[in-house]
Amino acid sequence: MNEDQLTSDNGFRYGLATREEISHMSGLEVMQALIARKLPAPPMAKTLDFELREVGEGIAIFAGKPSIAFYNPLGTVHGGWAATLLDSALGCAVQTTLAAGEGYTTLEFKVNCTRPILEKSGEMICEGRIVHRGRRTATAEATLKDTDGKLYAHGSETCMVFAP
């Protein structure tokens, strides 16, 4: 583990896993270790108050809590907050398909916001699913909904997959 780990009141460790810690793990195993808190959560998750809740082959589900701290000058949650949750779910859905040592990077990312997010909107659930996993590219789509299933945003992503 990196020496500069951050800890939160909720017991999560925030920081970055080392290459040595994850080089032998598949992408799904890395995601499962994050949920089990065997690896630290990325610091950005603390900053934007979201967490990885569930993963499976080609699926990643995050939950986040919008707050006034994320408001833009118009009095709604900034679209970047929604985009970050979507990008996280999209990328992690792709990551669950990686073999040990494989990596990926985002090539293209698109977001559609369907309604404003407010602090009173409550917890948001973001579900990313793989659409296509090829040898060199992968695509995924995701939705951002409240706990009643109302859609607030959706997006898609194309990633390049690379060998170790």
Q: Residue 134 maps to which CATH number? A: 3.10.129.10
What is the domain extent for residue 49?
6-162
Q: Which amino acid is at 68?
A: I
110-156 pLDDT, tens per residue?
999 999 999 999 999 999 999 999 999 999 999 999 999 999 999 99
- Of 5, 14, 4, 25, nearest to 50 by C-alpha is 14
**Residue 1 lies inside a defined structural domain of this protein:** no
- The secondary structure of residue 66, as a DSSP letter, is -
What's the whole-number average pLDDT of the chain? 94
On whether the pTM is more than 0.85, the answer is yes
CA distance 82 to 118: 11
For the chain, the domain total comes to: 1
